[in-house]
Structure 1
Amino acid sequence: MKDDLSLKIESLQEKGKLFSVLYVEDEKLLRDSIVQFLSKFFLHVDTAVDGFEGFEKYKKKKYDIVITDILMPNMNGIELIKGIKEENKDQEIIVISAHTDSSYFIEAIELAVTGYIMKPVNFNQILNVLNQSINKLTAFRENELYKNQLELMVEERTKKVFELKEELINNYQNVIYSFVKLIERRDAYTGGHSERVAMYSKKIAEKMGLSEKECELIYKAGILHDIGKIVTPDSILLKPGKLTKQEYSLIQEHVEVGYEILKESPMYKDISKVVYAHHERCDGSGYPNGLKAKEIPLLSKIMAVADTFDAMTSNRIYKKRNTVQKALEELKKLSNISYDKKIVQSAIEVLKNIDITNYIDQEPVSVIDDEHFAYFYKDPLTLLYNSEYFDFSMEKNSDSNNNFQCLTILYLKNFTPYNKKYGWNQGNKFLKEFASYLLDEFSEFRIFRIFGDDFALLHRVHANIDVDKINSIALLQRSGIYCKLKHISLIDTHISTYEELQEEEQG
């Protein structure tokens, strides 16, 4: 029995020979690769290196299917699509792009493209979209040929058109969901959070006796409620610490962005309304419109409770998660203030036994995650980790049975007189060179700049550091600065913060 992939390939090979394709892409290697792939299925495949050349070719010779990139010289993909749609509003167009700017994505959807495929290219996904286009074109051709035949034939072909329309809707939904997955890849907390909010919201809605349609609607809205964060800068979305007032105001914009993305599609119109109001609060303290109790849609009020419950029970770097019981107690205190009392009562009933022990938190889980995470905690002068990341490392070390057992402090002596004599610029240059030396010499250590001109080195096992060897390097010899060293066993001494280290030094 043939698998699904084989059937897709056979279908495209059988039907594709009757259709022509224009592929517009400025990246030569990708263009050659895709053309080689397309030539296996279509009788005629033309290429263009940018939107201008593609549009000129299209005007001279109409094509059944146009496949185009977004960002290209001379004329970009959006401009090309607009030009083609003016020539033929029903033209089948597929976008293949690595560009994730929401404005381009929304424009492409509004221009009724058949599919939006993200780079790197998944050829199985291309097969799906091409089959949809071919089936649609075939159905329309056959409909023209047989429109005057028997009523049964018309009915059958009409059914096919509806099926193809359903496929187009499903494809659009897949495009939207792919953007949700893109957000998940940017921020694991946000991805897991969306799935949990969807589940909690649906459970609460079911408990309140809402219809199956409403329960399904709120679940889909939960999955999509943070889609607007696709435009949130990484420096804010991925920031491990607390947001500033200005940063918080920027992240609030995700509600309106999500609403604008979703409302354009009839299939997401109801969902967009739920998403738009899920940060409103019964006392009018929410955003974006400061709505009060009766002004807020019921499903949005349910999602607000689910959203807050998940925030309370999820780990953030600056805030340990609450237990389920404590989170529900906090929600109960906020009944008839921020949240609807009846909704909170239902939430307490369905969420009191939720198991959250294995849920995703914000902490890094791999070496790559750790380095990406630490980007926010780098000292700008030396590019070593700063005292805030020292706090995080030590606190996590206390919670994880001493992954780090050895802490060595290097004190720079005579650095202050050196600064006074040669100036701050020269002092900064010295610190950068010394930090570079430490990174090369102690690459297996996690190194921090602390107390301004001192350094902390963490190691997973006890490590002897030769301070005389450090003092013999040319940088220290010519500057008159020297190091003193102190070793602290983290098995014998509990230090979990920068402040505790300062107290240890003063003691």
Structure 2
Amino acid sequence: MSILKQLKTISSNISILYVEDDQTLLESLSTYLKLIFDHVDTAEDGKSGLEKFNQNKYDIVITDIQMPNMNGLEMIEAIREKDADQEILITTAFSEVPYLIKAIELDVNGYIIKPINFDKINTTLYKVVSRINMLHENERYKTKLEEMVKQRTAENLILQKEKIDNYEKTLLSLVELVEKRDTYTGGHSLRVAKYSRLIAEHMNYSKEECDLIYSAGILHDIGKIETPDAVLLNPGKLDELQFSIIKEHVTTGTKMLSKIPMYKEHSKIIAQHHERYDGKGYPNGLKGDEIIPLARIMIIADAFDAMTTNRIYKPKMSLSSALEELDRFSGIQFHPEVVKVAIEVFKDLTLEENIIQLPATEMEKKKFAFYFEDQLTCTYNKTYLDLFLIQNKNTKKAKFINVLFIHNYGIYNDKYGWDKGDLLLKSVANLLRKHYKESFIFRLHGDDFAIVTNKKVSIDLSIFKDLVSKSNNLIRLEYKELNIKKEQIGSLLDLEKLLLVDKINI
């Protein structure tokens, strides 16, 4: 039997109040609900929805969040004051994250994710109606035999487990959302959780404590849900202001989880996972044994994953180098007792080799371009060239750099104007992309470009002959080929020094 048929079978006498300000969605979903339930009332905003609730008895309230007059959260608060056990479902989108967090605090019973998927609605409603029917059944049998009471108690425990599962699924969805937003740290939470549990097991913590630190590891960065995209999605180094903003994720995550009874112990660990043994950490500057034992473990697990993961601005360390780093900062950043165990645990660890920060999907490329694309020519900018060369010291994928110089560009601008000058740079960039598709193209200081390749490539200056001709032979192009390994080019500064030594003004 399909879930829809099962839902219809158990839904007799179930009453619904559906509150939605979007008329199209209100009509569509209410029409669908009326095919299942005998009694469905609707309201167009929270104020009118609350009035209907106060006048009638409903088994289930389904409400949108953002509405005029009174929003869904305000309505839910008012309903909870009148009936703390009222079954409430919210319709929401992942873009409404702050509201979703508030909904968790208000103890809603389920979530219907927009855009509406009727199969998922059926499943959610089936669970809620089953729970309502079970509760009604409990009331009818509460005066019967003790065995019946025991049986129903067991069923209530199942219902409670479902509620816990709902919390877990919601929080894990938020973690997943953070990592989907911040593709450059994808998988970080899971690795921190695994490393934390490994250390805890070797320190003879109980199974319950090991499970606790594992789930805390999964959730430790959940506070980044409120970190602005401009900071969270920045794949480069953060400036002082950006760093102060991202540090707030600790307090945000702690507050969020501490309000949920089943996650209070998790929140205590997460609150301290950026503290340091020497007291120079954040947010509270705790030091030494002021840091709780499980947090001491997570501090090391978090740092170890950062060390052994490739970042745009920092190549990953080898396992041996990372272990040396842990030992070097023992008694400074890390608790000495935990360091000893961590080194022993991690020494035989097999690290994932393909953890990189380079964009893969089209959406990731667009986010990446926001920071590292030259807005005029749509080539990469010199900031990314610097990070690329730093990364290349580890990956060694790039072997040659051809620097293309456009001579007399300033004179060309003075004669023909900046618009023509911009058009010239765009044309040069387009030709480079067309003829050197396997290369990385960067714009340097104004009128020069760098073509980075993994094999020796000569630049064919004849592809620019039409541009030179259109400039009445005013501009002149030449290039210089550099061997990255031979010239020891590991940053933009290294490249600039080489070019200066050769008396080439870039």
TM over 0.5: yes
- Quick check: 1:84 aligned with 2:79? yes
Letter in 1 for 2:294: L
Letter in 1 for 2:329: L
CA distance in 1, matches of 2:242, 2:474: 41
Letter in 2 for 1:322: M
- Quick check: 1:451 aligned with 2:448? no
Shift of residue 497 of structure 1? 4.8
Where structure 2 has 5 or more consecutive residues not aligned to the other structure, the ranges are none
SS across alignment from 1:81: helix
Letter in 2 for 1:482: I
Shift of residue 224 of structure 1? 0.5
The alpha-carbon distance between structure 1 residues 111 and 452, as it changes in their structure 2 partners (threshold 3 A), is same
Letter in 2 for 1:111: L
Shift of residue 304 of structure 1? 0.7
Q: Which residue of 1 aligns with 2:33?
A: 38
CA distance in 2, matches of 1:492, 1:305: 34
CA distance in 2, matches of 1:367, 1:400: 23
Q: Which residue of 2 aligns with 1:466?
A: 463
- Quick check: 1:58 aligned with 2:53? yes
CA distance in 2, matches of 1:484, 1:246: 41
CA distance in 2, matches of 1:49, 1:404: 64
Please say if residues 183 and 190 of structure 1, whose CA atoms lie closer than 8 Å, have aligned partners that are also in contact. Answer: no
Shift of residue 233 of structure 1? 1.3
Shift of residue 211 of structure 1? 0.6
CA distance in 2, matches of 1:203, 1:492: 39
Q: Which residue of 1 aligns with 2:302?
A: 307
User: 1:39-188 alignment to 2 at 5 Å?
Assistant: 39-100=34-95, 102-121=97-116, 123=118, 125-188=120-183
The alpha-carbon distance between structure 1 residues 380 and 226, as it changes in their structure 2 partners (threshold 3 A), is same
- Quick check: 1:17 aligned with 2:22? no
Partner deviation per Cα, 1:457-478 (whole Å, 9 max, x = no partner): 66899675622222455xx57x
* Bigger mean CA offset, 195-204 vs 111-120: 111-120
CA distance in 2, matches of 1:397, 1:330: 22
CA distance in 1, matches of 2:318, 2:486: 29
TM-score (norm 2): 0.86
SS across alignment from 2:36: coil
- Quick check: 1:482 aligned with 2:475? yes
Shift of residue 13 of structure 1? 2.4
Shift of residue 312 of structure 1? 0.9
Partner deviation per Cα, 1:24-70 (whole Å, 9 max, x = no partner): 33445544554455345323334444334433443444432122222
CA distance in 1, matches of 2:407, 2:15: 72
Please say if residues 364 and 370 of structure 1, whose CA atoms lie closer than 8 Å, have aligned partners that are also in contact. Answer: yes
- Quick check: 1:264 aligned with 2:263? no
User: 1:256-295 alignment to 2 at 5 Å?
Assistant: 256-295=251-290
* Bigger mean CA offset, 28-37 vs 289-298: 28-37
Q: Which residue of 2 aligns with 1:193?
A: 188
Q: Which residue of 2 aligns with 1:223?
A: 218
Please say if residues 413 and 420 of structure 2, whose CA atoms lie closer than 8 Å, have aligned partners that are also in contact. Answer: no
Shift of residue 152 of structure 1? 2.6
Please say if residues 67 and 93 of structure 1, whose CA atoms lie closer than 8 Å, have aligned partners that are also in contact. Answer: yes
CA distance in 1, matches of 2:85, 2:362: 49
Shift of residue 131 of structure 1? 2.6
Q: Which residue of 2 aligns with 1:321?
A: 316
* Bigger mean CA offset, 35-44 vs 256-265: 35-44
- Quick check: 1:351 aligned with 2:335? no
The alpha-carbon distance between structure 1 residues 402 and 165, as it changes in their structure 2 partners (threshold 3 A), is closer
Shift of residue 416 of structure 1? 5.2
Please say if residues 470 and 483 of structure 1, whose CA atoms lie closer than 8 Å, have aligned partners that are also in contact. Answer: no
Partner deviation per Cα, 1:60-99 (whole Å, 9 max, x = no partner): 4443212222223333221222233344332211112115
Please say if residues 12 and 37 of structure 2, whose CA atoms lie closer than 8 Å, have aligned partners that are also in contact. Answer: yes
* Bigger mean CA offset, 58-67 vs 234-243: 58-67
The alpha-carbon distance between structure 1 residues 116 and 354, as it changes in their structure 2 partners (threshold 3 A), is same
Letter in 1 for 2:277: C
Shift of residue 258 of structure 1? 0.6
CA distance in 1, matches of 2:405, 2:41: 66
Letter in 2 for 1:469: D
Letter in 1 for 2:325: E
SS across alignment from 1:144: helix
The alpha-carbon distance between structure 1 residues 168 and 327, as it changes in their structure 2 partners (threshold 3 A), is same
Partner deviation per Cα, 1:307-341 (whole Å, 9 max, x = no partner): 11111111111111111111111111222222222
CA distance in 1, matches of 2:340, 2:48: 63
Shift of residue 250 of structure 1? 1.3
Where structure 1 has 5 or more consecutive residues not aligned to the other structure, the ranges are none
Partner deviation per Cα, 1:402-461 (whole Å, 9 max, x = no partner): 689895725152415745x89xxx63x455444554566666456533122334466899
Provide the aligned length of Structure 1 versus Structure 2. 493
The alpha-carbon distance between structure 1 residues 395 and 344, as it changes in their structure 2 partners (threshold 3 A), is closer
TM-score (norm 1): 0.85
* Bigger mean CA offset, 236-245 vs 432-441: 432-441
* Bigger mean CA offset, 85-94 vs 48-57: 48-57
CA distance in 2, matches of 1:439, 1:17: 68
Cα RMSD over matched residues? Answer: 3.3
Q: Which residue of 1 aligns with 2:236?
A: 241
Letter in 2 for 1:221: A
Letter in 1 for 2:442: F
The alpha-carbon distance between structure 1 residues 384 and 306, as it changes in their structure 2 partners (threshold 3 A), is same
The alpha-carbon distance between structure 1 residues 308 and 398, as it changes in their structure 2 partners (threshold 3 A), is closer
